[in-house]
Amino acid sequence: MSELNETIQSADWKAEKHAPSISAPEEAFAGRPVTVTASIGAALAHPNTPQHHIAWMSLYFLPDGAKLPIQLAHAEFTAHAESMTGEPGPALTQPRMAAEVQLSKGGTLMAMAYCNLHGLWQSSKAIRVAAAAPDADPASVRVAGPEFLDALCGEAASSPRLRKNANLHAGNDYPCHRLFNALQPGTYVRPHRHLEPSKDETLLLVRGSMGACFFDGAGNVVRTEKLSPGMAVDVPHGVWHTFVCLEPDTVFFEAKAGPYVPMTPEEAAPFAPPENDPAAPDFLAALAKRF
């Protein structure tokens, strides 16, 4: 006779659309609230129709040394665009959940999701818990001065992509991503958009000159802005956009929500050539002429 645990499947959420993605800091402090989120489709979209959908998801915590997990939260996703007409209905629940929890010791966060066609899927993520928040060390304060920016620009010039980023956040799972990005003329950033509602991004130009281009869904340039040092641009999620480097050693600072997830096919502009495509230089040159 088969056991239920024999039917539970697991995989890397970046490569399998059914596997839950867990977002939480690498380390928390005992007794302090921390937000843990779990979702399906962070990297690969899962269908969400009456015929094929994620029905529910549960979040658990297994303390270090314990034999049994503790259920932290459970969510059911009950709207899948049902209708009586054959057309998609007016309501759709996305398979995402969040819980604010307090932990007294480290362990493993676990998520379980149920697909109505493909069964149970699980994933896990370790979390450390420190006894108390340590005093911040003033030596850890970082200053991005001319030497730092010059070095970053040098790395961009020697990179095949003609750009280089320096991350200030601790890791890809960190909830707030902050980074400097150095560009050299000729670097090509394929027009794209971010579909996740939390993925608005803000850029502040630090040095050099940069053009911002915004497109409609057909690939028409509907707005341009030439940025000089001190200017900022805030790009809402869902907007097709790209940036064109207009001067050597251009640097901007960027802030956006984590965690990092790879770009999906729906987020890369179908009207623009991919990086390294023979048509990319001409496409980039046409954009640069607008500035």
Catalytic residue among 105, 118, 125, 237: 118
| Annotation marks residue 18 as catalytic | yes
Write the CA distances from 107 to 16, 38, 103, 130, 251, integer angstroms: 24, 17, 9, 12, 40
Q: Which of 215, 225, 213 is nearest to 284 (CA)?
A: 213
**Would you tell me how many other CB atoms lie within 10 Å of the CB of residue 216?**
12
Catalytic residue among 3, 6, 14, 16: 16
| Catalytic one of 53, 115, 153, 199 | 115
Among 3, 14, 26, 46, the one annotated catalytic: 46
| CB neighbour list of residue 163: distance below 8 Å, 6 or more residues apart | 156, 181, 182, 183, 184, 187, 189, 245
DSSP 283: H
In sequence order, what are the beta bridge partners of 58? 74, 112
Task: Write out the two tokens for 54.
Answer: 């994620």
The DSSP element (H or E) to which 60 belongs, if any, is strand 54-63
Say how far apart CA 42 and CA 224 lie, in whole Å.
30
The answer to whether 115 is a known catalytic residue is yes
Distances (CA, A) of 92 to 21, 81, 87, 212: 20, 5, 13, 34
Q: How many CB atoms lie within 10 A of CB 57?
A: 22
Q: Which amino acid, residue 258?
A: G
Q: Catalytic one among 14, 26, 52, 247?
A: 52
52 is catalytic: yes
Using DSSP's 3-state secondary structure scheme, residue 134 falls into coil
Does residue 80 carry a catalytic annotation?
no
Question: 3-class DSSP state for residue 132?
Answer: coil
16 is catalytic: yes
Whose CA is closest to 246, among 230, 229, 221, 271? Answer: 229
Active site residues: 16-18, 46, 52, 115, 118
